[in-house]
Structure 1
């Protein structure tokens, strides 16, 4: 039994780990590398295995940094099952097709320039057809049911509380009379976050692969976050103008709508016109609505009382470009939720062009802004930013709301890790270097555990 650490070892994104048992090969995730152009170029590197010889993929959740190279895997010969939680399959259909469309658009743009310069054309990393083929290989499963992935490999999905359908993967391995319990955390959500249930605790494992995205920081308590959100909205009401919220289509957009419904009176939302201006977020919201059995107790009550809780929201879902363009005629009283969450593309750019130079307007950031993105430049206090080739002065009020991350902080992850008795060997992945080192030190100090930070390509023998 062998485990090889391939992706999300030197960075946060690109999750992929290779498991070999009884002569068969399995992947835990197959994600896209995201970030700076030189990092994203690594997605075109060859896999360190023959995709045609991979027997199965076990996918923790639908986010592109965990699923985004599945279409490429299929294009290069993989044809086995992809095991997913039921809601993950529905979200993956939306996410993978969107990612492929963006890749095709980017290649068309680049090839027009290449043709003028006499350069050879390039192919997209994957196509919409590849994405659909990958989704058709997905076998949807429920939480808490044990399944076989092949000889010597049984697994079970447990709720990770990160996004809808996100899973902790629990694996029971056997080879030559050796047995080994492996747990892969996937991405762990916050405890007590809106809509979704808390991550499930597990008590037994020999080896645990654990994420460390926020391994060196603590999120603001949820109540402080809610108080801050309400205060900004009430202040914006008095000053006039619009509120722009760059939001991720999966998870964050749904949380915001939920919170607006639950705090309608306290936040004085009567009179505000709301727009969910993201076709992908609209599709994802419809999927979230189909899985009330995955909600926490408060969200389940809200679902049953949906007409009362959400019926007062003056909400418009803008699927078409023409509908989105009309929003820019509104100078005051609009709350606009639009992608992308880091302002590196999408409809939010057009709303920024109309509002960013207006002091009465508010920009409300609720998620992580990666280095090199427009969102990062704005939250770091840049006085002027470039959008679509033109410079704009940042005169709108800028707010960064902590506490709404889909990832747990170091205390959430430690709380989850402490449930194992006795402490297993931990392998810390999915983090920048400082968070990984900090979280590894916490695990050693608090649990007295053997903790490793694997390098890319490093292999270990299990059992």
Structure 2
């Protein structure tokens, strides 16, 4: 029997998780996520899938984060008829997350089309709408942890707690290889692996003795200090009190699922203990509001769930569902906290708050999650003096702070130990869901453990692997590669153009007078004319 796997996402980048498994009897996906980051990467979301959606028999979904689930509505819109297997916690989160993703696309495309009309550019359409997302929810089929099930005649699967977010899983798969192999082929997809100690989840679990391990490397090579709960509260308390100097506001871009709920629980605990002032805490994200309710509904399944349920009853927490309520926060003066999505500042209401606060010297922006290359969050973290948000130039005078004490991912040493515990891996370990530095560090760390370096593979986008060979080297699928390796997980020309625009604007501001400004413009125009003559 022929069994192949094609890596259609999360290859040398941390987003777009999507793996296509093909046997003689079926085709299925593990994850179907949205690309995030630089525009070159995000444009892949608008392109046709590199496979026929109607040919896919089922999807095995690791968890609800949009970079793992966000293109399922598009898949269904273009011919996939299901099912999508996921844990009950994941399905409950997707009931809010996918329609929210569709709504955001509709709103952003509407704004973009207004700008395009003024520029004489053609209109674009959303990848999918909120209605499309609602329609695909009927395809969801719940599974439990630790129990085998058969999504197809020659395929068995089992979900293991990954300790990442509510409902997250690593997925163990066994495929009947027929007479070509003495036993079933065993694969494990890590999904996103959580740290050993989290507010809401037990440590991750999964099996050993595998043929293939497909492992995330988000924090490969990074080591975080091991912190107790009290240590974490102390760090957050200092960030809050420092932000409140000069009657400043604290703006926190946060992923709507898990990160927001952890932050809320800790902030309420700090307020109740008197460690920080009693100030309004605005949760300005309809998705995060609904996700928080899902956590309350699943509190009995979570570590510290009862305490979380009680904390969410605080009168300090103010939820803003409507755009009008969100805009009203702008009139707030003095100390207050705003938590809004998205965590990498690339979409959602957080951009409105950044436009309102980045230019204020007494405001603080606290980044608490992973910032992928090319995202606004990463640009701010790198110390940009100015940024462009929705076509508008904003000077950055606010304090930009960053902490990873709320990371939902295992760090480098924890990932290496997790892989070690999965041993032996007989054929190959594929390192995915990471950028170059993390991939290289993880490869070296695993080699230092004594693992065969030739069996540690770093796929590039659209690589295809023959899983029936003893040592599966990648080969390119038929047709052109969607992006070259050097175009994935890096700043692209859109980022460079935005920076150039800001640099030109800054130089014009520095020019002594109109004569100096005109001289600079003439030099720029001359450079363009020289290019045209060549």
TM-score (norm 2): 0.80
> Which of 205, 208, 227 does residue 203 from structure 1 map onto?
208
Rounded to whole Å, the distance in 2 between the matches of 1:233 and 1:371 is: 27
> Which of 351, 369, 385 does residue 353 from structure 2 map onto?
351
Report the secondary structure of 1:26's partner residue.
strand
Give 1:433 deviation, angstroms: 2.0
Matched, 1:219 2:224: yes
Partner of 1:249: 256
Rounded to whole Å, the distance in 1 between the matches of 2:38 and 2:468 is: 35
Say whether the 8 Å CA contact 2:221–2:413 is kept in structure 1: no
Q: Structure 2 vs 1, CA of residues 312 and 214 (structure 1 numbering), >3 Å: closer, same or farther?
A: same
Give the superposed CA RMSD: 2.4
1:220-245 alpha-carbon deviations (Å, 9 max, x no partner):
43345432211122334454322111
1:22-72 alpha-carbon deviations (Å, 9 max, x no partner):
421111111112222222222233333322121111111111111122122
Rounded to whole Å, the distance in 2 between the matches of 1:237 and 1:128 is: 38
Matched, 1:233 2:240: yes
Q: Report the structure, 1 or 2, having the larger helix content.
A: 2
> Which of 380, 385, 388 does residue 382 from structure 2 map onto?
380
Partner of 2:307: 302
Give 1:373 deviation, angstroms: 3.3
Give 1:193 deviation, angstroms: 1.9
Report the secondary structure of 1:271's partner residue.
coil
How does 1:68-83 map onto structure 2 within 5 Å? Answer: 68-83=70-85
Partner of 2:90: 88
Partner of 2:413: 411
Give 1:123 deviation, angstroms: 3.3
Rounded to whole Å, the distance in 2 between the matches of 1:176 and 1:388 is: 55
1:311-357 alpha-carbon deviations (Å, 9 max, x no partner):
55611111122222232222212111112222334333333344334
> Which of 439, 448, 458 does residue 445 from structure 1 map onto?
448
Partner of 2:177: 175
Report the secondary structure of 2:421's partner residue.
coil
Matched, 1:430 2:433: yes
> Which of 10, 30, 33 does residue 32 from structure 2 map onto?
30
Give 1:118 deviation, angstroms: 6.4
Rounded to whole Å, the distance in 1 between the matches of 2:204 and 2:350 is: 32
Partner of 1:192: 197
Matched, 1:275 2:243: no
Rounded to whole Å, the distance in 1 between the matches of 2:270 and 2:170 is: 31
1:150-193 alpha-carbon deviations (Å, 9 max, x no partner):
11111111111111111100112213143111111011111102
Partner of 1:11: 13
Q: Structure 2 vs 1, CA of residues 181 and 239 (structure 1 numbering), >3 Å: closer, same or farther?
A: same
Q: Structure 2 vs 1, CA of residues 70 and 346 (structure 1 numbering), >3 Å: closer, same or farther?
A: closer
Q: Structure 2 vs 1, CA of residues 116 and 355 (structure 1 numbering), >3 Å: closer, same or farther?
A: closer
Rounded to whole Å, the distance in 2 between the matches of 1:457 and 1:150 is: 24
Q: Structure 2 vs 1, CA of residues 172 and 282 (structure 1 numbering), >3 Å: closer, same or farther?
A: same
Report the secondary structure of 1:131's partner residue.
helix
Rounded to whole Å, the distance in 1 between the matches of 2:44 and 2:351 is: 27
Rounded to whole Å, the distance in 2 between the matches of 1:446 and 1:317 is: 49
Give 1:108 deviation, angstroms: 3.4
Report the secondary structure of 2:62's partner residue.
coil
1:121-152 alpha-carbon deviations (Å, 9 max, x no partner):
44332222321222210101121221111111
Number of aligned residue pairs: 458
Partner of 1:339: 341
**Mean alpha-carbon deviation: is it higher for 261-270 or for 358-367?**
261-270
**Mean alpha-carbon deviation: is it higher for 217-226 or for 75-84?**
217-226
Rounded to whole Å, the distance in 2 between the matches of 1:14 and 1:457 is: 14
Report the secondary structure of 1:210's partner residue.
strand
TM-score (norm 1): 0.91
Partner of 1:59: 61
Give 1:390 deviation, angstroms: 4.8
